Amino acid sequence: MRHRAETTPVSRREILAGGGAAVLSLAVTPAAAASFEQWRASFKARALRRGISEATYDRVMNRLEPDTGVYALQRAQPEFQEALWQYINRRVSDWRIITGKQRAVEQKALLDRIERDYRVDRYIVLALWGVESSYGDVIDNRKYMRPVMPALAALAWGEPRRRAYWEQELLNALVIIDRGWGDPKEMIGSWAGAMGHTQWMPEVWLNMGVDFDQDGRISPFGKPDDALAGASRYLLVRGKYSQGETWGCEARLPAGFNTKLADGRTYRPYAKWAALGVTRPDGAAFAHPSHQVRLKVPEPGGPAFLIGRNFQSIYSYNPAFSYSLAICHLADRIRGAGPFVQPFPGSERLPTLAEVQEIQRRLTAAGFDTDGTDGRVGRDTQRAVAAFQRKTGMEVDGYAGLAVLARLRQGG
């Protein structure tokens, strides 16, 4: 997810695991009264009651040291604040669009099977894969990922706000190991324990995972078969995905439109919105007039969207509007659709892959290391951009866009 790759938002796993408030936790050191050794010994009884073998518990836990670095990561705030248009541009980047189209061809047989079995649009699946792990490019990069067992053990032992949650996830991870699906040395992921191509928490791995490649184990690592099928099953079962419905579309509002109708909550058929004067920006007719959608304008003066129930299905994967919109838009771009017609206020167009690479080359030449010039914007490129912006008196937001490129071309 972060090896010179475009970073993602605070993830679905981190939001759900942290319960919002926990992400802001002030805990820097363990809050547990017992030492880790005492806690580890007492936790064994719970593991055995869960059905985990004593041999597995001892093998995994007896020499494990807690990764207490997760406490600082849990309370950390984002380094850079992003406007919605920046958020969308970074997730729906030229690199992700181009690579997504390549993966659609390379993985056609797999996607055919997944779409047949789970009835989830293949382009939504590709977009999830692209945003969650840059199409699997960074799932085993230890510069940004960490062993999850020491992380989960530290949280289960010393994080008081959601200790029950972390204990359950640690138990889930131990069950996975006990079943032979995963090895502790291979199980690396985010500080919160999310792993693999589609960033599964242990609970999702255990309960929504699919042995799609029929090798006798379920794994979000290695081949993408199990991960992509499991993500599809998640959207279908937990997100109530409905085959044959689109997520929605960009919409154009007529002059004098009653903005109170754009409450983002009230579902009406496309036909009803059309009767109220709402159209597609390209003028095409709505394909399914009877499908229910709601109207949302996320930013005044920006694009409007008619949002269907499958948008909500994606929201179940990560409960953030910006994330869901990015997934849906990336899916459409991989499919071959164009960018949004109505720009967001103050936005720039999406930089091309070549333009991002030029930004990276010029920054590196100027002494701001981007850790590569592959056209993907991750933490190193963001920090390099921010340092350049700070030096040149620009607004510091870490966004590798056209304004930064123009300033670089001027020689800084």
Each residue's pLDDT expressed in tens, for the chain with a length of 412 residues: 332 233 333 444 444 444 443 333 334 456 566 899 999 999 999 999 999 999 999 999 999 999 999 999 998 878 888 999 999 999 999 999 999 999 999 999 999 999 999 999 999 999 999 999 999 998 887 778 999 999 999 999 999 889 999 999 999 999 999 999 999 999 999 999 999 999 999 999 999 999 999 999 999 999 999 999 999 999 999 999 999 899 999 999 999 999 999 999 999 999 999 999 999 999 999 999 999 999 999 999 999 999 999 999 999 999 999 999 999 999 999 999 999 999 999 999 999 999 999 999 999 999 999 999 999 998 999 999 999 999 999 999 999 999 999 999 998 7
pLDDT at 33: 67
Distances in whole angstroms, Cα of residue 93 to Cα of each of 125, 220, 353: 17, 24, 8
The strands making up 268-269's β-sheet, listed across from edge to edge, are: 248-251, 304-307, 292-296, 268-269
Query: What is this structure's pTM?
Result: 0.91
Structure tokens at 120: 């989830």
C-alpha span between 231 and 110 (Å, rounded): 13
Query: What single letter denotes the amino acid at residue 94?
Result: D
Strand partners, 295: 306
Q: Where are the domains of the chain?
A: 7-241+310-347, 248-307, 353-409
- Nearest Cα neighbor of 335 from 57, 109, 97, 118 is 97
pLDDT at 9: 38
> Which own/partner contact pairs does 218-221 have at CB distance under 8 Å and 24+ positions apart?
218/181, 219/181, 219/182, 220/139, 220/195, 220/196, 221/139, 221/140, 221/182, 221/186, 221/195, 221/196, 221/197
